[in-house]
Amino acid sequence: MNQSEVMTEISQETIQQAARGNEAAFDTIYHATAGFVYNTALRVIRNRELAREISQEVYVTLFDKLKTFRHESRLSTWLYRITVNKAINLMKSESRMKRADVELDHVAPHVAPEAAACEEQEERRRVINRLLDLLTPEQRACVVLRNLEGLSYARIAGVLGVGVDVVRSRLRRAREKFLSARREVMRDAMS
Amino acid sequence: MQCHKVRNILITDGLDGEWSETQRRRVEAHLAQCPECGAFARELQGAAAEPFMDMPRQDVPSDLLADIHRDLRVRVQARRSVFKNLIEYWWQTVSARPALAFVPAAVVGLIVLLSVFQPPRVATQVALQDLSEDSYLMYLASYAEDGNGSDGYGTVIEEVFL
pLDDT in tens, A132-154: 889 999 999 999 999 989 999 99
- Tell me the nearest-neighbour CA distance from B14 into chain A, angstroms: 11
- Residue B152 φ/ψ region, left for φ over 0, alpha for ψ in the -120 to 50 degree band, beta for the rest: left
pLDDT band at A66 (very low <50, low <70, confident <90, very high): confident
> Which of A43-52, A105-114, B79-88: highest mean pLDDT?
A43-52
pLDDT of A118? 76
Question: With an 8 Å Cβ cutoff, are A128 and B65 in contact?
Answer: no
Counting the structural domains of chain B, the total is 2
What is the C-alpha to C-alpha distance for residues A71 and A15, in angstroms, rounded to an integer?
10
Give the mean pLDDT of chain B. 80
User: How many whole angstroms separate alpha carbon A174 and alpha carbon A170?
Assistant: 6
Residue A26, C-beta contacts closer than 8 angstroms, at least 6 positions apart: A18, A63
Among A6, A27, A174, whose Cβ lies nearest the Cβ of B65? A27
A108 pLDDT more than 50: no
Predicted local distance difference test score (pLDDT) of residue A115: 63
Contacts of B57 in chain A (CB under 8 A): 3, 6, 35-36, 39
Residues of A in contact with B50 (CB under 8 A): none
Residue B143 domain-assigned (yes or no): no
Q: Residue A116: pLDDT band by 50, 70, 90 thresholds?
A: low
Residues of A with CB under 8 A from a CB of B: 3, 6, 23, 27, 30, 34-36, 38-39, 42, 48, 52, 55-56, 59-60, 63-64, 110-111, 121, 124-125, 127-128, 131, 143, 146-148, 152-153, 168, 171-172, 174-176, 178-179, 181-182
Return the CATH fold of A3-190.
Rna Polymerase Sigma Factor; Chain: A (1.10.1740)
Q: What is the pLDDT of residue A191?
A: 75
Using pLDDT thresholds of 50, 70 and 90, give the confidence band for residue A31. very high
* B48 and B77 part of one domain: no
pLDDT for B157 equals: 59
Domain residue extents for chain A: 3-190
Largest CA distance in chain A: 65
pLDDT of residue A96: 52
B5-34 mean pLDDT: 94
Query: Quick one: pLDDT at residue B37?
Result: 95
Partner residue opposite A121 with nearest CB, options B15, B51, B56: B56
Point out the domain boundary residue: B74, B99, B114: B114
Min Cα–Cα distance to chain A from B32, Å: 22
Averaged confidence pLDDT in chain A = 83
Q: Is residue B74 assigned to a domain?
A: yes
Tell me, what DSSP letter sits at residue A136?
Answer: -
Which of A71-85, A135-149, B74-88 is the most confident on average? Answer: A135-149
What does the alpha-carbon distance between residue A41 and residue A85 come to, in Å, rounded to a whole number? 10
- B76 within a domain of the structure (yes/no): yes
Q: Return the DSSP state at B19.
A: S
- Does one domain contain both B48 and B72? no
Which of A159-163, A181-185, B44-48 shows the lowest per-residue confidence on average (mean pLDDT)? A181-185
Sequence-distant (≥ 6) Cβ neighbours of residue A100 within 8 angstroms: A45, A46, A47, A50, A91
How many angstroms separate the CA of residue A38 from the nearest CA in chain B?
6
The answer as to whether B82 is a domain residue is yes
Domain that holds residue B29: 3-52
Q: Residue B47 and residue A50: Cα distance in Å, rounded?
A: 28
Closest-CA distance, A107 to chain B, in angstroms, reads 12
Q: Indicate if the pLDDT at residue A126 is higher than 50.
A: yes
| B122/B1: higher pLDDT | B1
Q: A2 or B19, which is more confident?
A: B19
Residue A1: predicted pLDDT: 40
So what's the pLDDT on residue A39?
93
> B84 and B106: one domain?
yes
CA atoms within 13 A on the CB side of B19: 19
Nearest chain B residue to A52, by CA: B64
**B70 and B101 both lie in a single domain:** yes
Model pLDDT for residues B86-138, shown as the tens digit of each residue? 887 778 787 777 777 788 888 888 888 888 876 666 555 555 555 566 777 77
